[in-house]
Amino acid sequence: MNTMNDVEVIINNKRYTLSGYESGDYLQKIASYINTKHTEFKLMENFNKLDVDMRNILMQINIADDYFKAVNQVNEMDQEADMRGNELFDLKHEVIAAQTKLEALQKEYGKLQNEYNEAQKIIIKLQTELEDSKMK
């Protein structure tokens, strides 16, 4: 988009040469969009009766309306993105909290397992002592 170029477009059946930094494809897309609007407007009987000044202003307002509606959409999506961002943030913390709890409980479980194993050893030792004691 840094090189300046000349692009020829046809708008409303007239040829125009535009110099700019945008790509030829992009300018053709815009020309196509504007032509569609011209076609739509020309189908309206009332539009054709207006003077050229009013017709041009209405065209500008119509395109500007498309623009404002798109900007509105951007703003709404911005707000939604903020909400999603907060949701993500909270969820990430929920995951970390759950994993921390899990790790802590795994540690406790390990300790209890050891204590249980020790208790089992003591039981065996006491059972052996008891049998010895009974045999005497």
Q: Which residues bind its own copies (CB under 8 A)?
A: 11-12, 14, 16, 18, 22, 26-27, 29-31, 33-34, 53-54, 56-61, 63-68, 70-71, 73-74, 77-78, 80-81, 84-85, 87-88, 91-92, 94-95, 98-99, 101-102, 105-106, 108-109, 112-113, 115-116, 119-120, 122-123, 126-127, 129-130, 133-134
Query: Any bridge partners for residue 5, and if so which?
Result: 20
CA distance 136 to 125: 17
Q: How far is the CB of 106 from its own copies (least distance, A)?
A: 7
Residues whose CB falls within 8 Å of the CB of residue 23, separated by 6 or more in sequence, listed in order: 1, 5
DSSP state of 13: T
CB-nearer residue toward its own copies: 14 or 49: 14
Strand ranges inside 21-66, DSSP E: none
